[in-house]
Each structure stands twice: as C-alpha cells, then as structure tokens.
Structure 1
Amino acid sequence: MPNWTVASETGRLAEVLVCPPDHYRWLPTNAVARRSLGAGRQPGRAALAAQHAELCDALARAGATVHRLPPQPHLPYMAYTRDPVVVTHRGPVLCQLERPQRRGEYAHHLEWHQAQGSAMWRLSSAGTLEGGDVHILRPGLAVVGASGGRTDRAGAEQFAGWLRAEGWEVRIEPFDEHFLHLDLLFCMAAPGLAVACTEALPDDFLAWLRARAIRVLPTTYREAMALAGNILSLGAGRVVSARASARLNAALRAEGLEVLDPDLSLFAAGGGGPHCLTCPLRREEPDAG
C-alpha cells in the first residue's frame, strides 16, 4: 500500500497525479472559462497536449514521480486533478464536487486509488468540498476556502473538523464565488511565503497570515483572473508558475526560488493553472529526511 501523505503545500513533491487532457475543452462553469468561450473558440488538441507535457516535464525534472489518471471522454475537466481528492497528513480525502459537469470524476479517482492499493482516510459527505479550496500551509495549520459556489460551509466544516480532531488549527475563509476556488487568490510558494491577491482577500485574513509568520507576495485582481497566482510549490526552493506570469515570476526569483515556467495559457483560459492541474500524492518534509 502506498504511503501517500501531504503535511504541507511546501514539502518536497515526491509523487503527483495528473490527467492527460485528451478530452479537455472549455466549459462555461466559471467566469474565466465563460470569458474565453465568448471569443467563440476552443483549444486545439495538439496544443493542449504540448502544454500539458511541458508541465509534466517540469514536475519530472524536479524529481517528482508523475502518475497519470486515465482521461474519460464525458469528463473534460478531469485534467484539473486538484479538486476531487485532497491528500492530507493522514492520507487521501475523497471530495464532493459541486458542478454537475464534474461530479462523475470522483468514481475514476476512487477506482484509480483502489487499483494502487491506496485507501481513503475520509470521504466528504456534508455539503460540497473541492481540493482547490484546501490549503495545508504547514504541518498543523490549514485554511479552507468556502465560497458556497464550489466548497460550501458544511463541506469546509466537516473537513476542518477532521483536522482539528488531529490537533490542527484550521481557518475557514469565506470569499466570493466569482473567484472559483481559493487557489485563484492564494497559494503557498515556500515555507513562510505565499502568493495572494491582496486586492480581493480581506485584511483580517492577511493579518492572520502575518500573525503566523507567512509573508505574502501580492498579485492584482487582473493577475488573479489570469491564474497568475495559481502556482505549485515543488519544495526545496522550486516552484512551478505559468510562463505568462512574468511579473510574479520575477518576484519569486527575487526571493531566491527557482521558477519552472511552462506555457499553460490554454488551461488558464479554462480556469486553471499548475496548482489546479496537479494532485500531490506525497510530499517530504525537511525533517523527514
């Protein structure tokens, strides 16, 4: 049985799950995708495959084992593997997706985990819960976004309760569903360093982060809606950030981080970036060797 656990968003990424975009297309399920669809076009299959391959190459170059979930033709947003399952310090949690177009994804994630011998630690059963709203800041500290549009209060409280029973501090952060998931507004970059849309996040949340020694690199509303802040920490001083996020990437490099910057513009136009496109299965914390 694999030992798949994640105790923070910034531990060294050792194993990760992606899904090839064989059937990916933009769906009118979020503000970003609706804007893209307004132009009357869809992304090409070859271009999507090339961009996804860039992402997978970056993950592999950073030393992560890349697992692939078989795509299904009736579930075009399976490429965003972040949402159906969240891996915690105790193992995977099966989420409950809100959008009808995505609800069937749970079955294929569950089957895949079962085939690998991976057991779910918990199953979401109250309200809705989506992985893009769950942020494990460091061991013992997490925040769960609850817009009501994807993760609702009941789903967030159930998940938070499981972690609190383990002695964790968990904040539930309300935000406007216009922003899809919390990871459009906030992502960890490195231990003690986050990227956050300070124009949209409330002052009390930013103060809460400061009180817990988490600094913020700010993004603007425009950058957030272009998925600039939707980054993936690889641990060990590395981060994946989309090539189009030039200003943010310069700021990350100024912090001493190595930035791997694949072109993910077609996925960003559908409402997702490197954080959305990956489900970390195992991370190694520094003190774990």
Structure 2
Amino acid sequence: MPEPAATSLPGPAWRVPSETGPLREVLLCPPDHYRWIPTNSIVRRTLAGDNQAPAAAHLKAQHAELVHAIGQGGAEVRLIAPEPHLPYMAYTRDSVVVTHRGPVLCQLERPQRRGEYAALIDFHAAHGSNLWRKSSAGTLEGGDIHIIRPGLAAIGASGGRTDRAGADQLAGWLREEGWEVRVEEFDEHFLHLDVLFCMAADGLAVACEEVLDPAFLGWLRAHGIRWIPVPYRAAMSLGCNILALGNGRVVSARESTDLNAALRAEGLEVLDPALSLFTAGGGGPHCLTCPLRRDA
C-alpha cells in the first residue's frame, strides 16, 4: 500500500495529554535510508548473527504495513522527509516528544543520531507548531518518556541514552505544571524504558517484570495500573514496544504472538504489522511513531 504524501500545510496546535487517548495525528519517517547501525545492544546482537542486511523493498513494505495499521485505527499519518546520512530517522519517537503543552525538543545521546533535531525543528516550524521546551541539561530521548495519563508521567534514565540530568529537567517542567513524575533508573543495556514498559490502554500496560524494579511496579499498582507480563527474551525482541491507538485498539508487531494473544484476551483490537526488520534494529511500533495529537 503506498504511503501518504507529506504535507506542509499548517496544522492545529499539537498536544498529547496521555499515551492512551485516541490518537488523531502521528509523525513517521519513511525508511528510505534505513540500515542497521551498531548503536544499541539489540542491533549489535543482530549484526553479530547470520543476518542479511535488510533490503529496501522489504523495509518499505513493512513500514507501509505500519502506516496502514495506524490508518485503520483512525489516525492521520504525517511524514517527515528522510535524510541519507541519518539512517535511524525512521525511529521518530526520540528527537521530539509532544506533551500536554506541546512539543519538547530532546537531546539525543548517540552521535549518529544527533543531527535528527534539525529536520524536526523545521517540520514543527513549517506546521506552526511552537516548541514548548528544549532539552538543555544532559541527554533526553523520547523512548524514555511515558505520559501515562494527564498529570502522571514516568521518565526512564539509564544513563546510556537519557541521563539523570535530562530526565530531571523534563520532570521539573512537568512538576511545575502540577504533574506527578517518577524518574526511573535502569540498566543502559535495555536502551530505552519503552523496551521494558509501554501503556496499552487506560489503566493497562505491558511490562517486563523480570527486569523492572519492584518499586516501579508498585508505583504503577498504586496508581491503578495493571500490566501484562512480558518475558525478558520477548522484551529484547521489542515485545513491550507497542503503540496504543485509543478506543480499544493497539499496534503490536506481528512477531509478538504471545503478547498479542494476551492483549486480545483483554478485549483489545490488535493491529499487527510485520516489523521484524525494524525490531532487529532496536525499535518497534512505539519507537517508529511520534504522536502529535491525542484526545484527552
């Protein structure tokens, strides 16, 4: 299925008050220049194995499945033009995260990805979308930022991607807005917090209990959030890396068969594009998408 054309028409003010409200607009980047680069433990394992480099046609086909799934869920897909020297631009989650007050420009840690910020600044400016805040302390990446519901957020700080200074700066901005924010430290082996935890629906998450701190799980429970457990091996294949669409729908990679069955058992409609070439590089549906607008 062909991907929709990018648009430069001014859009409405983009706001995301939660991870689970109905998704209305989302930003993706076509994988025209995507290739595996050794920037995380997941892709290093892929490169160390007997795996052929992904073919452009296969990447395009899998990405088109993701675009189609999101469209089935009722969201409008906007595209940012890929740049040849930035192969991981396809993972649009990390450079900018949109909050209840608008976009926050992040500060990426890996040199191979730092240049992504420029295109994102231009994209938001072209659409009349003013940046609410710009990360300037330490490092901050979108895969570590979870706007669980209005007034409640978790920010991962592994030190490998998002560090404590970057997490604390964003947490401070949100706390000034009256939010409760938990900064959760974890081992940098796991790249981003969304490798271990994502929201599936209001009050329901997926989580790797084997790795996450029991105190974090207790904090979730205290806030009325339950979770579907995802084993370590599945988490390292991006099993936790899902995208809630709202209205009882969720996008999860087709390869996550056990999790998808569990999500369906919860009454959710699971849209399951094949994404094996992207999960092998370290990112799934959550990483490949940057929500621009959700309903409260």
In the TM superposition, 1:233-252 aligns within 5 A as: 233-252=244-263
Residue 28 of structure 2 is aligned to residue 36 of structure 1: no
Residue-by-residue CA offset, 1:112-147 (whole Å, 9 max, x unaligned): 111111110000000000000000000000000000
Which SS does the other structure have where 2:292 is aligned?
Answer: strand
* CA offsets 1:89-124 (integer angstroms, 9 cap, x no match): 000000000000000000010011111111100000
Q: Which amino acid aligns with 1:32?
A: I
**Counterpart residue identity of residue 54, structure 1:** E
Letter in 1 for 2:57: A
- Residues 1:182 and 2:196 are matched in the alignment: no
Q: What residue is the counterpart of 1:19 in the other structure?
A: 29
Pairing 1:10–2:20 present? yes
Amino acid at match of 2:34: Y
Instruction: Please give the residue correspondences for 1:96-175 in structure 2 after superposition, counting only pairs within 5 Å.
Output: 96-175=107-186
Matched residues in 2 for 1:44 and 1:34: separation? 18
Secondary structure at the residue paired with 1:161? helix
User: Which amino acid is 2:151 matched to?
Assistant: G
Match of 1:229 in 2: 240
Q: Secondary structure at the match of 1:271?
A: coil
Residue deviations 1:58-110 (CA, integer Å, cap 9, x gap): 11111111000000000000000000000000000000000000000000100
Structure 2 portions without partners, runs of 5+: 1-10
1:284 to 277, 286, 295: 295
- TM-superposed CA distance for 1:35, in Å, is 1.0
Q: TM-score, normalised by structure 2?
A: 0.95
**Letter matched to residue 279 of structure 1:** C
Return structure 1 stretches of 4+ with deviation > 2 angstroms. Answer: none
SS of equivalent to 1:112: helix
Give the number of aligned pairs. Answer: 285
Structure 1 CA distance for aligned equivalents of residues 271 and 60 of structure 2: 18
CA distance in 1, matches of 2:65, 2:246: 19
- In 2, Cα distance between the equivalents of 1:113 and 1:43? 30
1:40 shift after superposition: 5.4
Amino acid at match of 2:27: L
Structure 1, unmatched stretches of 5+, are none
Paired with 1:116 and 1:274, the residues of 2 have a C-alpha distance of 24
- State the distance in 1 between where 2:226 and 2:54 align: 36
267, 274, 290: which one pairs with 1:263? Answer: 274
Deviation larger for 40-49 or 222-231: 40-49
Q: CA deviation at 1:42?
A: 1.1
- Amino acid corresponding to residue 266 of structure 2 in structure 1: E
Q: CA deviation at 1:36?
A: 1.0
Work out the CA distance in 2 between the residues paired with 1:108 and 1:202.
Answer: 36
The Cα shift of 1:250 comes to 0.4
Residue 5 of structure 2 corresponds to none
Mapped partners of 1:245, 1:62: distance in 2 = 19
Give per-residue Cα distances to partners, 1:34-67, cap 9 Å, x unaligned: 1111135311100000000000001111111100
Deviation at 1:2, TM superposition (A): 2.0
The amino acid across from 2:109 in the alignment is E
Secondary structure of 2:66's aligned partner: helix
Q: RMSD across aligned C-alpha pairs, in angstroms?
A: 0.7
